[in-house]
Chains A and B, each alone.
Chain A
Amino acid sequence: MGSKYDVLVIGGGNAALCAAISARRGGASVLVLEGAPKFYRGGNTRHTRNMRCAHDAATEILTGPYTEDEFWEDLLRVTSGQTDEVLARHMIRESKDILNWIVEQGVRWQPSLGGTLSLGRTNSFFLGGGRAMLNALYLTAERLGVDVVYDAEVTDLVIEDGMFLAARLKRPINGETEIRATSLVAAAGGFEANIEWLKQYWGEAADNFLIRGTPYNRGSILKMLLDKGVQEVGDPTQCHAVAIDARAPKFDGGIITRHDSVVFGIVVNKHAQRFYDEGEDIWPKRYAIWGRLVAAQPDQIAYIIFDSTVVNSFMPTLFPPIAGQTIAELAGKLALDPAALEKTITEFNAAVRPGTFDHTILDDCVTEGITPPKTHWARKIETPPYLAYPVRPGITFTYLGTRVTKEARMLMADGKPSANMFAAGEIMAGNVLGKGYAAGMGMTIGSVFGRIAGREAAKHARN
C-alpha cells in the first residue's frame, strides 16, 4: 500500500466500487475506504435487488424494450419534474451501456422469475441479490489491484479552495492517520441512519423511524463536504420511506420487513381512525407513499387491518399477522380502543359498493359516503379471524446531497467546479431525484455516476 494514491474512494457500495474499478481500469492506483466492517460493506447496496436501465430491445433477462424517452417520462413522473434534465438524460443514455459494463465486472443477472414485482421489462435483477452483486464487484476490484480497507472511519477532509488534499482517519492505516490522494471520489451514501440529523427536519418523530439499511449510513462525509463549501442539492426533508413492520429491528431489517398488503385492507392510526385512501394507486406508488403517511400520524404507528380471505394474496411476511376472532379481540391485542375500531370497520363495510375485484388494475371496487374513501379494491372486512400488521416508517435513503456536473465533478458553493473532487451514488442522487422514487433508480445512479466519477478521477490524476 503506497503512501499516496491517485484516487481515494470513500464509501463501499455499488457507486464506490464502480468508481474504484473504472479508475483502476483507467490506470490509477486506488484505495477504497469502507467505514463499515466487512460483513456490512456496501451500505444500501446490500439490500438492493435490481437496476433500471434503458434498452432498445428485449434481452435474455428483460422482456421488452425500455427506451430512453420512456425512462425519462417515468423519472419526470415520480419526481414531479424535480430533476436536473441535463444530468438525468445523460444518466439515462449511459444506463444503456451500464447493463453490459456491469456484467463485465463479474455481476450476474437472473432471468426475471416469480415474486410480486412486475418489473421484468424495465429492471434487471441481480442473481443472488445486492450482496451477491457487491461480492462480485469486490472480487473484481481486488483482482485488479484496488486496495480496500474496512472499518476505515474518515474523521476529516482536508480541502483547500475546492481542492481535495487528504483524508484524516480515526484509526491509522499502515501507520498513517492521513491519506493523501490526487483525486477524491465521495461515494459514502446518505444520512438515513443518523437519527440526530433526521431530527433536524422531522423533530422527535424521527425517534420512531426504523432504518432499513445498515447503521453505518450516517452521512458524515456528506456533512464534511457541505461544511467545506460544496454546493448542496435536494430537499433535506425528502427521503424514501415505506411502511414496514413495527416489529422490525431498528437497523438493517432490509427487504423482508416490508408489507404489500395495504390494498387488501384498511389502514388505521392509534386512534383506530383511517387517514388515507388505501386504494389510491397501484404498485409501486402505493408502496412508496405509506412511509411518509405513517410518519405523519401520532406516535408514527399505524395498523394494516384485513381479514382471513386475503391472507394468501400478498408476499409471505417475516412477522406473522396479529389475529383476533372478533374485531374487539384484535383491537385488544393492538392496544386500540375496541369500540372505535369496531365503528371504523362497520362504517367502512357499510360504505363498500359491489364491484369486480382485480388488484392488478385500478378496479371498480369503491366505497361511497366515507372520508377518506377507498377508491379501488374496497371489499368488506368480515371473515374472521381478523388480522393486522403494525407498521412504522422505514427509511431507505435521504435526498440531500452534493451538486455535481455531468462529469460527476462536485460544484462548489460559488458555482465553480472542484479541481479534483467527484461524487457518485446516493450522496449525489438528489441531482437526479428531487423527490419520489421508482424501483432500481438508486442503483442506476450509483453505477452510472460511479463509473464516470472513477474515469474522471483517474484522468485528473494522470494529468
Chain B
Amino acid sequence: MHGTRILDEADRLMTVCNSCRYCEGLCAVFPAMEMRRAFSDGDLNYLANLCHSCGACYVDCQFSPPHEFNVNLPKTLAVARAESYAAYAWPQVLSGAFARNGLVISIVAALSMAAFILGFAALSDRGVLFGVHTGPGAFYKLMPHQAMAALFSAAFLYAILALIMSVRAFWRDIGTPIGGRADGVSIFQAIRDAGELRYLHGGGVGCYDEDDKPTDRRKLFHHLTFYGFLLCFAATSVATLYHYLLGREAPYPWWDLPVVLGTLGGIGLIVGPIGLFLAKMRRDPALLDESSYGMDVGFIAMLLLTGLTGMLLLILRETAAMGPLLALHLGAVFALFITMPYGKFVHGIYRFAALVRYAQERRTAA
C-alpha cells in the first residue's frame, strides 16, 4: 500500500509493464522501471516525473482501455506527477496552492501587484502615471529603480529558496537505490536530454495529441515557450548588468542586446503558450489529467501574459500607455515569480532532477 490511491494504481501498472516490457525502447521510464522489482512512493514519484506524457506507450499498449487490464500510464503518471508537486512543496503549508485553481491565483496575484505599482505611482505623482516618458530612466518615473529591484529580488530569491527546498525533498525521496549527490556527467547528460526534450518524441515519431497520429507540435511549442522564457530571463540579466556595471538605464534602443533578447523571447512566450494551450484543448481526454487543468492553464496564462505585456510595452513605451502597461507587466512577472514554487513551473525542475537521477542510474548500471 502506498501513500495515495494514485500511487497504488501506478504500482499496479508498473507490475503489468514490468512483466511485458514491450515499451522499453520508447523513453526513459521503462528502462528505469526495469531496474526495480518493487516500487516505493519515491520510486513512483521519480518515474512519474520522468514521464514526458508523449502518449506513445498508451497508443502502443495492447492492454490500454478498453482492455480489462486498463493500462493508462500517461494519465496515471500525470496525476501522480501533479500530486508529487504538492507532496514535496516547501513550506508544506502552501502545498494546497497546487490543488486550487492556479489560473485565478496567478491572475489575482498579477493584478494585485499591478494595482500596487499603479497606486504607488499615483500616490507620488498623478501625472506620472499617464504621462509620456522617453529616454533612459523613463521606466523609473513610475517606480524608482531601487524599489523595483528590491521588490523583485525579494520575490525571486524567495522563489529560488522554495524551489531548492522542494527539489531537495524530492531528490532525497527518489534517491534509492544509489543515493548521494548528483555528478557532473549525469547533470550534463540531463541538460542535453531536457534541452532537446529527448523523451517527448514518442520513440521517434512525435507526440500523440488528439488521436493516434503522432505530431511534433507539442515539442515545438514547448521549445518556443521554454527558450522564450530563457531568452527573457537572459534579457533581464543583461539589463541588470548594464545598469550596475555600465550605468546604462532602461529603456534601451530596439537594437540593443536586452531588447533583442527580450523581443525574441517575447515572441516565443506568446506563440509557445498559445500553441501549448490549443494542444491541451485538443488532446485526447483519455490522456489528460483534468484535475490539474487549472494549474496547467494558470501557468500557461502567466507566461502568455508576461510575454504579451512585455511586447506591448516595447511597442507602446513611448506613449501614454507606458505607465499602465509597465505596471501590468511587472505585476505579471512578480506573480510568475511568487507562484513558481506552487505551480506548473516546478514540472521542469522535478523532471530535470529525475533526468539527472536516470542518467546516474544508467551510468551506475553500465
Contact = CB atoms under 8 A, between A and B. Distances in A.
A47 B20 CA distance: 10
Contact of B66 (A39, A115, A126): A39
Contacts of A129: 20, 22-23, 60-62
A355 interface: no
The 9 closest A-B pairs by CB, nearest first: A129-B22, A110-B25, A128-B60, A132-B60, A256-B19, A316-B18, A318-B19, A46-B62, A127-B25
A125 B16 contact: no
10 contacts: A113-B24, A126-B22, A129-B20, A129-B22, A129-B61, A131-B59, A132-B22, A256-B69, A315-B21, A316-B15
A38 to B, nearest CB: 9
Interface string A89-124: 000000000000000000010110111000000000
Interface of A: 39, 46-47, 49, 108, 110-111, 113-115, 125-132, 135, 139, 249, 252, 254-256, 312, 315-318
A316 B25 contact: no
Nearest to B56: A128
A115 B62 contact: no
B201 to A, nearest CB: 11
Given A108-B204, A108-B205, A135-B212, A318 B16 contact: yes
B68 A128 contact: no
B20 A255 contact: yes
Contacts of B31: 113-114
Interface string B91-125: 00000000000000000000000000000000000
B137 interface: no
Contacts of A47: 62
Nearest to A38: B212
A115 B35 CA distance: 11
B34 interface: yes
A139 B68 contact: no
Q: Chain B binding site: helix, strand, loop or mixed by DSSP?
A: loop
Contacts of A317: 19
Given A113-B25, A316-B37, A249 B205 contact: no
A130 B19 contact: no
Contact of B203 (A132, A254, A315): A132
Contacts of A249: 68
A320 B63 CA distance: 19
Contacts of B25: 110-111, 113, 125, 127-128
B57 A128 contact: yes
A115 B37 CA distance: 13
B5 interface: no
A348 B82 CA distance: 53
Contacts of B363: none
Nearest to A42: B62
A185 B57 CA distance: 31
Contacts of B23: 128-129
A172 B119 CA distance: 72
Interface string B26-61: 100001001001000000000000000000110111
B213 interface: yes
B204 A127 contact: yes
B82 to A, nearest CB: 26
A108 B60 contact: no
Contacts of A115: 21, 24
Nearest to A259: B19
A417 to B, nearest CB: 36
Given A115-B21, A128-B22, A129-B22, A135 B16 contact: no
A131 B37 contact: no
B156 to A, nearest CB: 43
Given A108-B204, A127-B204, A132-B203, A316 B60 contact: no
Contacts of B56: 128, 132
Contacts of B68: 249
Contact of B22 (A49, A135, A312, A318): A49
B321 to A, nearest CB: 50
B67 interface: yes
B204 A316 contact: no
Taking each of B15, B21, B56, B203, which has the highest tally of chain A beta carbons within 10 Å of its own beta carbon?
A: B21
Given A108-B203, A108-B204, A255 B22 contact: yes
